[in-house]
Amino acid sequence: MDIQQIKQRFGIIGNSSALNQALNIATQVAPTDISVLITGESGTGKEVMPKVIHQLSARKHGSYIAVNCGAIPEGTIDSELFGHEKGSFTGAHDQRKGYFEVADNGTIFLDEVAELPLTTQVRLLRVLETGEFIRVGSSKPIKTNVRIIAATNENMFEAIQNGKFREDLFYRLSTVPINLPPLRQRKDDIHLLFRKFASDFAEKYRMPAIRLTDEAIHMLNNYTWPGNIRQLKNVTEQISVVENTRDIDAVVLRNYLPDYSATNLPVLSKQDKNNGDFSERDLLYKVLFDMKNDLSELKKMVINMLKTGTDEMSSAEKNEMIAKLYDTNSTASTAKLLSEPISFEEDPVIHDSSTYENSYEEHVEVEESLSLEDREKELIQKALEKHRGKRKYAAQDLGISERTLYRKIKEYDLK
């Protein structure tokens, strides 16, 4: 069975290389009894992979039991997994079989395995090493032939370092690791998933399916989706039920993505903050501001020298140089001027210092705008003027698509 057939059979949507690689590993490991650990962020669809592995294995006619380890109280999880004897604890009125006994010759999927208590981890390690377990309140070992597939959205190496998870159990569970990529790394799949969910909800609620405009699709693809596929599905259902119109534009979609604008600002991501590193855009901002501050300080020093320093320069020359230093229209010109050596006349004519003082006082220093939005608007305007309003050639000159240029023209209200 090839990858496309597997996707159709299990309702998997997407064509990203990372998703295909995960499915390839699952199909290769399915015929064996090797333990598998599935990792990935919450909402990436980790629960689908164990079903794929189980159905493609020789155990497909046996039991398949999915256990959410984080949803079972710590005091009862051993009883749930391994069973208990009558009278082994308060409330144990009868003998009970656990999941490992019920799923003999089948598959157990342990979701959120990192939430298991350490005492339960010891019992699970024994099952993986010997194929045996002991019911709560018993001393008699019971054999079981169960394949274990586990999943977690936590960083297991951090959990091991913090003493939350046993290192030996981790290596037993992760004989073959499978990682599912987050939705933000599957941009080409986002709209496909949206259309699938929209179609499903249209059928469920008996209404026409919602559709996105081009701008809304762009917004959908550029959102970070911290909740991944689960969040995308919830947003699609909300829009399907709440909105009366079936054509959804970017303005409407933004109401369901309240933190969308924050994702496009030049701020440090959570990971960058933790590592103390700057993002590429932040680094560029820092360099630009440092350069501007350095030039401003240098200009002030030179002007102060001209005002209070030696009288070997004429007043006219001083006035001219000060005027050029206060000309902030061109940073490159200022830098060039500051790099030129100052020449002095041997016998200058000295004039009253008030002449050049009045001259530089008439100039007003203007702060240059370093806004990326202003620069982008200016470049687009110049490109349009250069090509006499022909958007095709202006877009080629700017290195962007015509669609993007059209959107930017509307955004900046350019004529």
Q: How far apart are CA 333 and CA 342, in angstroms?
A: 16
Residue 409: per-residue pLDDT: 84
Phi, psi (rounded to 5 degrees) for 179: -110, 130
Q: What is the pTM of this model?
A: 0.62
The domain spans of the chain are: 3-181, 184-264, 280-361, 372-412
pLDDT tens digits along 312-369: 556 666 666 666 555 544 445 444 544 555 444 444 444 444 444 444 444 444 455 5
Residue 276: per-residue pLDDT: 42
Q: Which fold has domain 3-181?
A: Rossmann fold (3.40.50)
Q: Which positions of the chain have pLDDT values less than 70?
A: 261-287, 289-290, 294, 299, 302-372, 415
Tell which CATH architecture fits domain 372-412.
Answer: Orthogonal Bundle (1.10)
Residue 313: per-residue pLDDT: 57
Residue 311: per-residue pLDDT: 54
- Cβ atoms of 223 and 257 closer than 8 Å: yes
Phi, psi (rounded to 5 degrees) for 15: -130, 15
Residue 255: per-residue pLDDT: 92
Residue 268: per-residue pLDDT: 43
pLDDT tens digits along 187-231: 999 999 999 999 999 999 999 999 999 999 999 999 999 999 999
Residue 331: per-residue pLDDT: 47
CA 83 from centroid of its chain's CA atoms:
42
Q: How far apart are CA 280 and CA 373, in angstroms?
A: 17
Top-tier CATH class for 184-264: mainly alpha
Residue 363: per-residue pLDDT: 45
